Chains A and B, each alone.
Chain A
């Protein structure tokens, strides 16, 4: 108790000259953080830690798959690796990273002094570390971590050991965190915009996050329902997914994918937002078709609720359902196409420069669109049935999740880190990071299309020798990609935080938005008096 008091006095002595409010330091600053920038930073570090952990799991997978045969891991442990890689990357890395960007940037972009519910903001972050600890420690309980695949299909999930229960609780925590984060984002955007900042003047990043937050609130409870039913099937004798007791294993898949497909857009819409901010800044030309971008984002979100069963064509649906879900899925290509065309029209006749944020944004468009094409191909039911659960699907979703979401996150880091740290990153190192990421990404995932077409199933610990060559290429690429991200941490992130050229308030001459009107680094409190937007 006395320590706390001393700390408090210490804060008062040193914290007062800069800031109007008490500004705790050390552990208390982070544990009790209510400032949106501090919480944003916590989210970003959490997400990056999880990205590297999930990356280690991925590299273990690729090590085992370098050659046919079992060299390093038993198949049951291999299944734990693929499962945990998926859960860690989706719920631990990509989603929290976007929430981190939202925390940092949304108040700055709409001219708000902070997020609407500062203490809930703290709680929604601090639910994540316990979830991560549950996931990590589940490797050490009897039977190991859950090995049912990140989709946790019943009834395989009812066969698992306590690692499965730990994963269920971790997902509950992360789900609750996401819902609270979303409520905060919606209320901040709807209620705390600066005078004059109408909805249709908001930066695209705020728009995409607003829509994403609604998606999250709509579907996270659905996931919670599915995994709670799994939990009661496992321990309390219910039979939701057990045919012997009158349940239906396929019902789990319907519920899961009713969450799972909007989830895909939860992970990509904020990425669209980031790219839509960066392209105009470096083309020195306003975003083309702002209104149609907003409508396209909303259409994608609405369509995402009526396409879920395209993940389930091989479960044996009636022909009418197969046709409905094929047509509905293909429709998503229309608004997505509008976005890509708008981006290219934004670049068209601009005055472009290619600093690292722009490189990642253009790289995003190029590689993400390839993932879009394979998505279109997979939407065709007969082709999907041929390729379901093969490496083609693995290639497809890594093209949209790594080259899509992750590249956009990198683009956003290079774009906004001058505002966060007050320092400019090294352009040369940024370019090394970009080109290595782009090349190694394609070396890793492009050959997987061929493996999938030839019929190699996913989630297998060992494969027929015919698949060896492309697997070797993919494994080499994976290590290149992994090392590139270590380079990013050691040679870009740390040096930029510690020092580097002083960043101007507005380091990009084409950038627009309220975030560039505050000093770099952004002071602890910004927009205490709301700015007026003309």
Chain B
């Protein structure tokens, strides 16, 4: 909870930043707006093709609707027994029946043909300027910039809406909701405008789906497989979407945010991000004090663990294990290091502990130390150093 509020504290600054790079001609908000009646305003070539296809389909359907139901309601009004209308006796007409088989066939072809070009365009992921891998995890996204400017950048992207805005059953939210409620993240994907960005999707646990409606992009992220899609944003701005495949309990809480910036801004971001990553790549042999580890561990816990194990450390009976009083947390530290690194499927709970290999040695050491000294836990082996995690990885 605390970690989420901390990210929330950083939120106004981020919002101001987004406003500073506000789009020039892009008509939309980058996400849904109140009482929207149509697709979101398109921000890519593909999305505008989809938008026109939808309009085209609506026009055809509306014409058919008016024609067919015009006839039906005329008949309902005029051919009534109460008006003294006598029933005719006809019950077939080969020519009419052939006509209304052939004409719809032609209409259907007229609907599908213009879509064919767009289908081919959507699948053409060649010649990308930047390639980013998006990894779906319960319940966040991980991004790795694989190719192009920014190569090597890698981060996790968590929902940044504080739980205090969501509320809980029976408890009213204690904070007012912002405009980007449930569609804001701590680390958004940043890409340059007018550049072809290829997104490779995969997942760690179950199927997720990476989607930005304004880009006309939606691609399932499938564990063990890679799929790809692409977009080339026409305008700078911040674009928002949601995970679009049921992926478990926090499915509603893993949005996708893409910030499209100018080339110059992108360079600045890449520089900053690479420096930040270099700073984060701490020496795993550094020896930390227990208080340093506990402070850092609490943040790690609130970002990664709290959704299942809860702020109380008690988990959810039957679904997620309790850490408070757990024999693993209070027992020999190696077993807990292994559990966090490799995950665990005991079968005792509906949920499964995923592997957390992607976290740094320091983060894992910190969060284990935190759990061993928090709540009612007073483990004998109460401190884990990053070097021990590094050793266990081998």
Contact A289–B75 (Cβ < 8 Å): no
Does B253 count as interface, using CB distance less than 8 angstroms?
A: yes
A149 touching B225 in the complex, CB below 8 Å, given contacts A159-B352, A315-B220, A352-B76: no
Does B37 count as interface, using CB distance less than 8 angstroms?
A: yes
Q: Which residues of A contact B118 (CB under 8 A)?
A: 381-382
A155 touching B183 in the complex, CB below 8 Å, given contacts A326-B115, A352-B81, A461-B252: no
A366 to B104, CA, bound (A): 18
Does A49 count as interface, using CB distance less than 8 angstroms?
A: no
Report A445 CB to chain B, min CB distance, Å. 15
A309 to B318, CA, bound (A): 36
A242 to B85, CA, bound (A): 65
Give the residues from 54 to 80 in chain B that come closer than 8 angstroms, CB to CB, to chain A: 54, 57-58, 61, 64-65, 68-69, 71-72, 75-76, 79-80
Does A497 count as interface, using CB distance less than 8 angstroms?
A: no
Give the residues from 188 to 206 in chain B that come closer than 8 angstroms, CB to CB, to chain A: 201, 205-206
A347 to B211, CA, bound (A): 46
Contact A377–B101 (Cβ < 8 Å): no
A356 to B365, CA, bound (A): 70
Does B246 count as interface, using CB distance less than 8 angstroms?
A: yes
Does B36 count as interface, using CB distance less than 8 angstroms?
A: yes
Contact A349–B85 (Cβ < 8 Å): yes
Chain B interface: which of A329-337, A400-408, A422-430?
A329-337
Q: Which residues of B contact A323 (CB under 8 A)?
A: 116, 119
A352 touching B244 in the complex, CB below 8 Å, given contacts A285-B88, A323-B116, A466-B32: no
Does A314 count as interface, using CB distance less than 8 angstroms?
A: yes
Report A324 CB to chain B, min CB distance, Å. 11
A204 to B106, CA, bound (A): 28
Q: Which residues of A contact B182 (CB under 8 A)?
A: 68, 462-464
A388 to B112, CA, bound (A): 18
A290 to B93, CA, bound (A): 11
Q: Which residues of A contact B9 (CB under 8 A)?
A: none
Does A338 count as interface, using CB distance less than 8 angstroms?
A: yes
Does B291 count as interface, using CB distance less than 8 angstroms?
A: no
Contact A314–B318 (Cβ < 8 Å): no
Report A363 CB to chain B, min CB distance, Å. 11
A353 to B82, CA, bound (A): 7
Report A370 CB to chain B, min CB distance, Å. 8
Q: Which residues of A contact B284 (CB under 8 A)?
A: none
Q: Which residues of B contact A161 (CB under 8 A)?
A: 318-319, 349-350
In the complex, residue of chain B having the shortest beta-carbon distance to the beta carbon of A319: B123
A-B interface contact total, Cβ < 8 Å? 329
Q: Pick the residue among A70, A347, A460 that contacts B168 (CB under 8 A).
A: A70
Contact A285–B91 (Cβ < 8 Å): yes
Q: Which residues of B contact A373 (CB under 8 A)?
A: 61, 64-65
Contact A454–B36 (Cβ < 8 Å): yes
In the complex, residue of chain B having the shortest beta-carbon distance to the beta carbon of A252: B207
Q: Which residues of A contact B166 (CB under 8 A)?
A: 69-70, 462
Report B93 CB to chain A, min CB distance, Å. 8
Does B167 count as interface, using CB distance less than 8 angstroms?
A: yes
In the complex, which of the residues A142, A143, A148 has the most CB atoms of chain B within 10 Å of its own CB atom? Answer: A143
Contact B31–A142 (Cβ < 8 Å): no
Contact B36–A450 (Cβ < 8 Å): yes
Count of chain A residues with a beta carbon within 8 Å of a chain B beta carbon: 103
A288 touching B90 in the complex, CB below 8 Å, given contacts A316-B228, A319-B119: yes
Q: Pick the residue among A286, A389, A463 that contacts B252 (CB under 8 A).
A: A463
Does B122 count as interface, using CB distance less than 8 angstroms?
A: yes
Contact A71–B169 (Cβ < 8 Å): yes
A380 touching B112 in the complex, CB below 8 Å, given contacts A347-B75, A386-B39: yes
Q: Pick the residue among A70, A155, A283, A326 that contacts B119 (CB under 8 A).
A: A326
Contact B222–A460 (Cβ < 8 Å): no
Contact A72–B244 (Cβ < 8 Å): no
Does B120 count as interface, using CB distance less than 8 angstroms?
A: yes
Count of chain B residues with a beta carbon within 8 Å of a chain A beta carbon: 108
Contact B31–A455 (Cβ < 8 Å): yes
Q: Which residues of A contact B181 (CB under 8 A)?
A: 68, 464-465
A288 to B57, CA, bound (A): 29
Report A39 CB to chain B, min CB distance, Å. 34
Does A292 count as interface, using CB distance less than 8 angstroms?
A: yes
In the complex, residue of chain A having the shortest beta-carbon distance to the beta carbon of B215: A386
Contact A454–B33 (Cβ < 8 Å): yes
Report B312 CB to chain A, min CB distance, Å. 14
Contact with B along A143-166 (1 / 0, CB 8 A): 110011100010110011101000
Q: Which residues of B contact A345 (CB under 8 A)?
A: 96
Report B80 CB to chain A, min CB distance, Å. 5
Does A348 count as interface, using CB distance less than 8 angstroms?
A: yes
Does A287 count as interface, using CB distance less than 8 angstroms?
A: yes
Contact with A along B275-307 (1 / 0, CB 8 A): 000000000000000000000000000000000
Does B53 count as interface, using CB distance less than 8 angstroms?
A: yes
A450 touching B115 in the complex, CB below 8 Å, given contacts A333-B108, A366-B69, A388-B244: no
Q: Pick the residue among A149, A316, A334 that contacts B105 (CB under 8 A).
A: A334
In the complex, residue of chain A having the shortest beta-carbon distance to the beta carbon of B320: A76
Contact A344–B87 (Cβ < 8 Å): no
A382 touching B122 in the complex, CB below 8 Å, given contacts A283-B87, A353-B81, A376-B57: yes
Q: Pick the residue among B32, B167, B216, B227 that contacts A386 (CB under 8 A).
A: B216
Does A453 count as interface, using CB distance less than 8 angstroms?
A: yes
A380 to B123, CA, bound (A): 15
A461 to B120, CA, bound (A): 35
Q: Pick the residue among A243, A349, A389 that contacts B223 (CB under 8 A).
A: A243
Does B218 count as interface, using CB distance less than 8 angstroms?
A: yes
Q: Which residues of B contact A334 (CB under 8 A)?
A: 101, 104-105, 108
Q: Which residues of A contact B71 (CB under 8 A)?
A: 344, 348
Contact B319–A249 (Cβ < 8 Å): no
A296 to B161, CA, bound (A): 52
In the complex, residue of chain A having the shortest beta-carbon distance to the beta carbon of B202: A243
Q: Which residues of A contact B101 (CB under 8 A)?
A: 292, 334, 337-338
Q: Pick the residue among B36, B100, B201, B206 that contacts A156 (CB under 8 A).
A: B206
In the complex, which of the residues B54, B80, B104 has the most CB atoms of chain A within 10 Å of its own CB atom? Answer: B104
In the complex, residue of chain A having the shortest beta-carbon distance to the beta carbon of B96: A345
Contact B89–A248 (Cβ < 8 Å): no
Q: Pick the residue among B36, B97, B123, B317 that contacts A338 (CB under 8 A).
A: B97
Contact A377–B253 (Cβ < 8 Å): no
Does B378 count as interface, using CB distance less than 8 angstroms?
A: no
A330 touching B111 in the complex, CB below 8 Å, given contacts A314-B218, A337-B104, A338-B97: yes
Does A79 count as interface, using CB distance less than 8 angstroms?
A: yes
* Interface CB pairs A-B, < 8 A, 23: A74-B316, A156-B207, A159-B352, A160-B350, A250-B222, A290-B91, A290-B92, A337-B104, A341-B68, A349-B88, A352-B79, A353-B81, A369-B65, A383-B115, A386-B39, A386-B218, A389-B209, A389-B245, A455-B31, A455-B241, A461-B251, A465-B177, A465-B179
Given contacts A147-B248, A469-B35, 14 further A-B contacts (CB under 8 A): A68-B182, A74-B316, A75-B251, A144-B319, A149-B246, A314-B209, A338-B97, A348-B79, A349-B79, A352-B76, A382-B118, A385-B218, A389-B209, A454-B39
Q: Which A-B residue pairs are the 7 nearest by beta carbons? A: A243-B224, A143-B350, A316-B227, A161-B350, A460-B252, A142-B318, A454-B36
- B residues near A, CB below 8 A? 31-40, 46-47, 49-50, 53-54, 57-58, 61, 64-65, 68-69, 71-72, 75-76, 79-82, 85-93, 96-97, 100-101, 104-105, 108, 111-112, 115-116, 118-120, 122-123, 165-170, 173, 177, 179-183, 201, 205-207, 209, 211, 213, 216, 218-220, 222-225, 227-229, 241-253, 316-319, 349-352
